[in-house]
Amino acid sequence: MKYKKDYDVVVAGGGIAGVAAAIEASRNGMKTALVEKTVFTGGLATTGLIYVYLPLCDGCGTQVTFGLSEELLRASIIYGPGDIPKGWENGVKGPAGTRFLVRFSPASFIIALDEILVNAGIDVWFDTLVVGTVMKGQQITGIEVENKSGRGIISAKCLVDATGDADLAFQAGAPCVETDNWLSTWAIMASSEAAKKAVKNGNAKDLLSFFIIGGDNVGRGAPEAGKKYLGTDSKNVSEFILKSRELLTNDLKKLYAKEGKEKRNDYYPLTLASMPQLRTTRRIDGLSTMKDDGHPKKISDSVGLVADWRKRGVVWEVPYSSILPKKVKGLVTAGRCISNERDAWEVMRVIPAAALTGQVAGLSAALAVKNKTNPDALAVEDIQSALKSKGIPLHMENV
């Protein structure tokens, strides 16, 4: 190995969950590193061009998700464009008919995240791929990474797996579960129509012309008899990327055939995702698993609330044990690779939930380091009281 660095907390994966975990760990006094294989933070939300920060409210006028999830939602539009929906400017209570969500420019969100990470004093390792785990028996003590400096070890007293694919948990030997995905593409287009609208409204936010094609979360719009793709098989991932981009190419060809070749000067792709747009790949089979019947249960080890983005009035409590892997010590997970299945995975794999579980994971890692223990040995009441002191409600009766 060419180098070895030591931290209190290392977060692998700089998506929304990883960013939230690193911020929370650092704000709790931990020497923290965030390791990200691309050159951007935000993961699917930014690199993947998934530009909708889904709601923090229940759809009936009550905010249910708070803390870093709200801080990051507000940060996503600091450098424009977009506004907090009317009535939700101060959060907590808002109009029942409007949801507390935003659409953001991925590039604007990235530069806002840069600023937050630097201000929080986090040591960011961009362009650094996690290639393995360092183990002492069942205890994970670090990660093996590869970057321009060669191969090295980054050690920590506690680690957070926010890779979206449970890479650390899997490599460390924790039981995991996989699922597959429909083809789809989200892109940003340039068009004279958007430009005209922007000029007419005197507002450049209309230049952000988003485009979605292919299967939605339940497969509507997916090519007929379409194959489904895994996110953990490299050939499968490459095929997914090519085939999903082909959906866009075919759509453009159809449009040019209908409206003439000159249309290519009037409407074309401006930005494509630079990570595969896979919704669910691999997640841990954790100490507990959120299941379809999780709502409307009161959960004793709840660490926060997440609204069902698909329905009004449906709110889920999130169990602390669902972010803890089986078998591996010194590791906590965050974001779309925590333990939940089917309907619960659908609710928990989105941006506001990733930010919430990231914050909980960062807090848990910090408390574990302070108490010289592992996240699974912490008293959940200690985590809950720290979250409550940050204004994060734990149960539905608290909002």
Minimal distance in Å, beta carbon 57 to ligand FAD? 14
Q: Annotate 75-96 with DSSP letters as a single string.
A: HTTTTSS--PPTT-TT-SB--T
Task: Identify which of 25, 89, 28 has the alpha carbon closest to the alpha carbon of residue 56.
Answer: 89
Work out whether 113 is an interface residue with ligand FAD (CB under 6 A). no
The tokens describing 350, both together, are 């989105």
Q: Based on the shown chain and the rule CB under 6 A, indicate whether residue 153 belongs to the binding site for ligand FAD.
A: no
The Cβ of residue 254 has, within 10 Å, a number of other Cβ atoms equal to 10
Alpha-carbon torsion, ordered 335, 75, 359, 93, to 10 deg: -100
Is 283 one of the binding residues for ligand FAD (CB under 6 A)? no
Question: Using CA atoms, how far apart are residues 251 and 263, in angstroms rounded to an integer?
Answer: 13
Q: Is 167 in the site for ligand FAD (CB under 6 A)?
A: yes
Tell me the H-state helices in the chain. 16-27, 68-75, 106-119, 167-172, 192-201, 234-259, 342-348, 351-370, 380-389
Tell me the closest approach of the beta carbon of residue 337 to ligand FAD, in angstroms: 6
Among 50, 188, 208, 383, binds ligand FAD (CB under 6 A): 50
Site for ligand FAD in 323-342 (CB under 6 A): 335-336
Out of 16, 30, 102, 159, name the contact with ligand FAD by CB under 6 A: 16
- The DSSP call for residue 294 is G
Among 14, 61, 304, 362, binds ligand FAD (CB under 6 A): 14
Question: For ligand FAD, which stretch binds (CB under 6 A), given 39-47, 70-78, 253-261, 319-327?
Answer: 39-47
Reduced DSSP (H G I as helix, E B as strand, rest coil) percent helix, strand, coil of the chain, to 5:
35, 25, 40
Asked if 129 is part of the footprint of ligand FAD (rule: CB under 6 A), the reply reads yes
CB of 182 to ligand FAD, least distance (A): 9
The reply on whether position 272 binds ligand FAD by CB under 6 A is no
Q: Which of 26, 62, 76, 163 binds ligand FAD (CB under 6 A)?
A: 163
Does residue 261 contact residue 253 with C-beta atoms inside 8 Å?
A: no
Q: Is 186 in the site for ligand FAD (CB under 6 A)?
A: yes
How many residues touch ligand FAD under the rule CB under 6 A: the total is 38
Instruction: Give the interface with ligand FAD as residue ranges (CB under 6 A).
Output: 12-18, 35-38, 43-45, 47, 50, 52-54, 129-130, 162-165, 167, 184, 186, 275, 277-279, 335-336, 349-351, 354
